[in-house]
């Protein structure tokens, strides 16, 4: 998969504003920007100012409120006076939107990135998750629900370390 | 909307605003609002029930799992209630905290007490399968906002379903004691299944417009999925008759009042409070 950010606008001014919004990091996983995560969907300028569109990862994700504030702050700090952050549920966010560089940053940070693509139906084959500490594939899911909605808790059977896995969604 | 309109915002002015959730930006009709209210109330009441388990589940990972599932449900509730509130110029908090028991439209299943862990799992089994069947069809709703909320929710409910089935298998095929408790939990839960699939004037009218999903149409696939899970767990699906429902008309069991008292006390005691 190529790392392309499909939604970065072609228009130079909109692209500049996109890059400002893209500096905002996820408060739970500060190594990832909202662009890395695929949360940032669109930036456009119109008669009512700048509209930044973001898509929540999970319906109950408490980080969305602070991401909204951070986007507004980043814009205002860069001199954009009139900015509105719009939250759009459709199409629903998927880990397929995460960039390759985002996945690399996750692994460096000690969180196993999502493996493979989100499937339309159930996948009953247990896909191996690579331990971000020792790269072993001999790992085990402790619980599908981790420290945040988007993560599952795994443990490595070789190095014995527990680790978070950013689950495919 | 005043600055103090939300009781759940983290800092001043931080609450999810209705326009953020309603992708269509349209004000729903009273009927669509009523329908969204039902779905939102189901999710809200279940979220409240599940959050009780945090710090009380049989193992730490389960605290996290049920807490996460509750959080997902709360997210769905916020979306549905925000959208429903558009119909009557009310906020999600107006609807969650400042309605009386007869004004809630949740089905009885969701307000059933947690019981022991197996009982909660039995309730989760029914709730997640029902919601999964419902949301996977609601994605095609003629109402764009309901479809968008459902599309988001169904991906999360998929995990909830898997979680409940895994526990059904573990408890059903576990020790004699775990099996006994799972059977008891299922027996206590099953009378509340019937109500989920009852059609009424509202769902019939909205289903004709392609907006709502007719509950009765979900029954067959729900039964098939449940039967498959029970068979794997070597358990029998109960055939006990359904209890009287009426949640969609505001007739609730004694349990909802206590739940609401706990859920609403702070917002009512300190209107406009934020934390």
| Per-residue pLDDT band at B3 (split at 50, 70, 90) | very low
Select the residue of A66, A92, A144 nearest B152 (Cβ to Cβ). Answer: A92
| Per-residue pLDDT band at B7 (split at 50, 70, 90) | very low
Give me the mean pLDDT over the B235-246 stretch.
92
Is the pLDDT higher at B15 or at B160? B160
Contact B113, B201 (CB under 8 A): no
Tally of helices (H runs) and strands (E runs) in chain B: 12, 0
Please check the confidence at residue B180 and state whether its pLDDT lies above 60. Answer: yes
Distances (CA, A) of B154 to B126, B129, B133: 15, 10, 9
Closest-CA residue of chain A to B159: A144
Is the ipTM reported for this complex over the cut 0.90? no
Please check the confidence at residue B4 and state whether its pLDDT lies above 90. Answer: no
Contact A11, A17 (CB under 8 A): no
pLDDT for B12: 34
pLDDT for A120: 63
Write out the two tokens for B160.
Answer: 């909830």
Q: What are the pLDDT digits (tens) for B129-139?
A: 999 999 999 99
- B20/A86 CB distance under 8 A: yes
- Residues of chain B with Cβ-Cβ distance to A150 below 8 Å are none
pLDDT for A143: 85
Shortest Cα distance, chain B CAs vs residue A119, angstroms: 11
| Pick among B16, B62, B64, B225 to test the A interface (most A CBs inside 10 A) | B64
Shortest Cα distance, chain A CAs vs residue B73, angstroms: 7
pLDDT for B199: 97
Write out the two tokens for A167.
Answer: 């689950």
Give me the mean pLDDT over the B139-161 stretch.
94
pLDDT for A46: 85
pLDDT for A5: 60
pLDDT for A123: 59
Is the pLDDT higher at B201 or at B25? B201
pLDDT for A26: 94
Which residues of chain A are at the B interface, by a Cβ-Cβ cutoff of 8 Å? 56, 58-62, 64-66, 68-69, 85-94, 122, 142-147, 149, 153, 169
DSSP state of B154: H
pLDDT for A47: 87
Please check the confidence at residue B149 and state whether its pLDDT lies above 70. Answer: yes
| Per-residue pLDDT band at B25 (split at 50, 70, 90) | low
Provide the whole-model pTM: 0.88
- Residues of chain A with Cβ-Cβ distance to B7 below 8 Å are none
Q: What are the pLDDT digits (tens) for B71-126?
A: 999 999 999 999 999 999 999 999 999 999 999 999 999 999 999 999 999 999 99
Q: Which of B16, B9, B20 is nearest to B148 (CA)?
A: B20
Please check the confidence at residue B17 and state whether its pLDDT lies above 60. Answer: no
Closest-CA residue of chain A to B163: A144
pLDDT for A138: 94
Strands across the sheet containing A83-87: A40-46, A49-54, A83-87
> In sequence order, what are the residues at sequence separation of 6 or more whose Cβ sits closer than 8 angstroms to the Cβ of residue B239?
none
Give me the mean pLDDT over the B141-169 stretch.
95
| Pick among B13, B20, B25, B40 to test the A interface (most A CBs inside 10 A) | B20
**What is the per-residue DSSP string for chain A?**
-----TTS-SSHHHHHHHHHHTTPBPSSSTTSBHHHHT-EEEEEEETTEEEEEE--SSTT-THHHHHHHHHHHHHHHTT--SEEEEE--SSPP-GGGS-HHHHHHHHHHTEEPPPS---SS---S------TTT--S-EEEEES--SSTTEEEEEETTT--EEEEE---
pLDDT for B22: 47
How far is residue B267's CA from residue B151's CA, in Å, rounded to a whole number? 31
> In sequence order, what are the residues at sequence separation of 6 or more whose Cβ sits closer than 8 angstroms to the Cβ of residue A79?
none
In this structure, the number of other CB atoms found within 10 A of the CB of residue B218 comes to 20
Give me the mean pLDDT over the B216-226 stretch.
98
The list of chain A residues with pLDDT below 50 reads: 1-3
How far is residue A23's CA from residue A100's CA, in Å, rounded to a whole number? 17
- B61/A61 CB distance under 8 A: no
Q: What are the pLDDT digits (tens) for A30-69?
A: 999 999 999 999 999 988 899 999 999 988 888 888 999 9
- Residues of chain B with Cβ-Cβ distance to A65 below 8 Å are 9-10, 14-16
């Amino acid at each position: 998969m190529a790392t392309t950010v499909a939604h970065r606008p072609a228009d130079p001014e909109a692209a500049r504003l996109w890059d400002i919004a893209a500096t905002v990091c996820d408060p739970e996983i500060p190594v990832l920007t909202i662009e890395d995560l695929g949360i940032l969907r669109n930036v456009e300028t119109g008669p009512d100012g700048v509209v930044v569109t973001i898509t929540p990862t999970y319906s109950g994700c408490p980080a969305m409120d602070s991401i909204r504030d951070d986007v507004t702050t980043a814009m205002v700090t860069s001199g954009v006076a009139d900015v509105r952050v719009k939250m759009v549920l459709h199409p629903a966010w998927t880990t397929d939107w995460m960039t390759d560089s985002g996945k690399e940053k996750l692994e460096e940070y000690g969180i196993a990135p999502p493996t493979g693509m989100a499937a339309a139906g159930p996948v009953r084959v247990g896909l191996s998750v690579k331990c971000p500490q020792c790269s072993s594939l001999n790992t085990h899911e402790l619980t599908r629900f981790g420290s945040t909605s988007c993560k599952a808790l795994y443990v490595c059977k070789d190095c014995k370390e527990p680790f978070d896995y950013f689950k495919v969604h | 909307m005043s600055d103090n309109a939300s009781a759940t915002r983290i800092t001043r002015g931080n609450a999810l605003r209705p326009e953020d959730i309603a992708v269509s930006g349209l004000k729903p009709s009273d009927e669509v609002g009523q329908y969204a209210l039902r779905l939102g109330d189901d999710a809200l009441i279940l979220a409240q029930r599940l959050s009780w388990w945090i710090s009380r589940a049989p193992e730490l990972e389960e605290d996290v799992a049920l807490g996460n599932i509750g959080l997902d449900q709360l997210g769905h509730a916020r979306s549905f209630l925000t959208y429903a509130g558009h119909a009557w110029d009310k906020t999600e908090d107006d609807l969650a905290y400042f309605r009386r028991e007869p004004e809630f439209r949740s089905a009885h299943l969701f307000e059933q007490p947690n019981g022991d862990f197996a009982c909660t799992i039995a309730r989760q089994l029914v709730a997640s399968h029902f919601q999964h069947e419902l949301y996977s069809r609601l994605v095609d709703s003629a109402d764009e906002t309901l479809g968008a909320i459902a599309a988001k929710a169904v991906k999360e409910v998929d995990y909830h379903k898997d979680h409940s089935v895994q526990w059904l298998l573990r408890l059903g095929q576990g020790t004699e004691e775990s099996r006994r408790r799972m059977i008891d939990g299922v027996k206590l839960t099953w009378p509340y299944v019937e109500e989920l699939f009852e059609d009424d004037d509202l769902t019939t009218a909205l289903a004709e417009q392609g907006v709502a999903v007719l509950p009765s149409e979900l029954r067959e696939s729900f039964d098939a999925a449940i039967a498959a899970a029970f068979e794997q767990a070597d358990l029998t699906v109960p055939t006990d008759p359904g209890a009287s429902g009426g949640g969609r008309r505001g007739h609730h069991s004694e349990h909802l009042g206590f739940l609401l008292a706990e859920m609403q006390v702070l917002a009512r005691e300190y209107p406009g409070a934020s934390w």
